[in-house]
Structure 1
Amino acid sequence: MSSSLSKIVDGGPLFRFALLTRRWRQIVDQELRTSGLTDATWRPLFYLNILGDGTRQKDLAEALGVKGPSLVRLLETLQDKGLIESSADALDRRAKRLSLSSAGKICARRVQQRVQALEEQLLAVLNEEQMTQLPAMIQALESGLENWTEQA
């Protein structure tokens, strides 16, 4: 481990968690790049697969943690590749609803299967007790952050 990484590790558990998630995304990106997908393309497909057809564009942007204008160019690229479809929202003509195309659903399922396989490989280092505790610990941290942002 480089000295700069060891300083981050010494920064506390949440800094280590941030480092872990960054490294996890790098591994997933590297694996999916062999399928011709970049971080910018696989993540929207992955999230749309989870969120379901008819997801509002602003909801996808929020889930991805990006601003609307940044997402627009990416969505145009995914539409040009035939992976997603966009339609006007029936209740709000300014809003867009997004759906995976048939090809997009196939691609998203492949992404989800590959991510799940990688996740299983990584989590295999945990014992049964740790695996049982992990979701509750993550939920507690998420709740803590949510409470914190509501108070701010």
Structure 2
Amino acid sequence: MSEDTTPPNPSADTGGSTFPVYREGGTTPAIRLSINLVLVARRWRALLDERLRTIGQSSARMEAMSAIMNAPDPNAQIDIAKRLRIEGPTMTRMVDTLSRDGLVAREQAPHDRRTNYLSITDEGLAALEQIFAVADPMRDRMFAGFSEAEIATLNEQLQLMLARLDEGLPAGEPE
């Protein structure tokens, strides 16, 4: 792509589209960032899944078990799904598998037959420990050379973007 010669957010400045810039082989910082966010997330997950397969695990299982482990009590299945930003049926399939493997326990809520509370089992904790033994060195290599302050800043910015996405990107001026 050609060198960036446009303002950081021309569509916000003009109410128009950045597509003419992109169509001509140009880009903007915002276009590059959104593309890079997607590529980094895809590549991280692919590499992590490749390595986790060797121990019979996956990044999806890691995310689900971690969310269950860290959820405030009572940890309703639907709340875990919302936290992971996945649909209920997807969460149900994941919990079915994790439960069958003895990694997660499912208990029906006493006040509502439709609600299940989830907890991680001792076997699940052991599996997460194995998963982290694989993921931690990868994470360390990915963030090598980043200062704690840089990582904190990136986290703050990503959390802001996630909050905006969770709101459905309402119309109006960015904060």
Q: TM-score, structure 2 length as denominator?
A: 0.68
Q: Give SS of 2:119's match.
A: strand
Bigger Cα Rg: 2
Cα gap change, 1:102/1:54 in structure 2, threshold over 3 Å: closer, same or farther? farther
Q: Does 2:27 align with 1:12?
A: no
Tell whether 2:165 aligns with 1:145.
yes
Q: Which position in structure 1 is the counterpart of 2:143?
A: 123
Question: Alignment partner for residue 49 of structure 1, among 69, 76, 79?
Answer: 69
1:3-152 equivalent positions in 2, closer than 5 A: 11-51=31-71, 54-127=74-147, 130-146=150-166, 148-149=167-168, 151=170
Structure 1 residue ranges (4+ consecutive) displaced by more than 4 angstroms after TM superposition:
none
Going from structure 1 to structure 2, the CA distance change for 1:112 and 1:59 (only over 3 Å counts) comes to: farther
Give yes or no for contact 1:84–1:99 (8 Å, CA) kept in 2. Answer: yes
Distance in 1, matches of 2:54 and 2:42, equals 19
Flag the structure with higher helix content.
1
Q: Tell me the CA shift for residue 50 of structure 1.
A: 2.5
**Higher RCO, Cα 8 Å, sep 6+:** 1
Kept in 2: contact 1:54–1:99 (CA 8 A)? no
Equivalent residue of 1:124, what SS?
coil
Q: Is this contact kept in 1: 2:57–2:131, CA < 8 A?
A: no
Structure 1 residue runs of 5 or longer lacking an equivalent are 1-6
- Classify 1:27/1:141 alpha carbon distance in 2 versus 1 (closer, same or farther; 3 Å): same
The residue matched to 1:55 in structure 2 has which SS? Answer: coil
Percent identity between matched residues is: 24
Residues matched between the structures, number: 143
- Which whole-Å deviations, capped at 9, do the CAs of 1:94-144 have from their partners, x for residues lacking one? 100011111111112322343233212101143465334322322332343
- 2: CA distance, partners of 1:86 / 1:50: 15
Distance 1:137 1:106 in 2: 33
Deviations, residues 26-76 of structure 1 (Å, cap 9, x unaligned)? 111111111111344333123222326642111222233322123223322
- What is the CA RMSD across the aligned residues, in angstroms? 2.6
Check whether the contact 1:53–1:100 (CA below 8 A) recurs between aligned residues. Answer: no
TM-score (norm 1): 0.77
SS, match of residue 94 in structure 1: strand
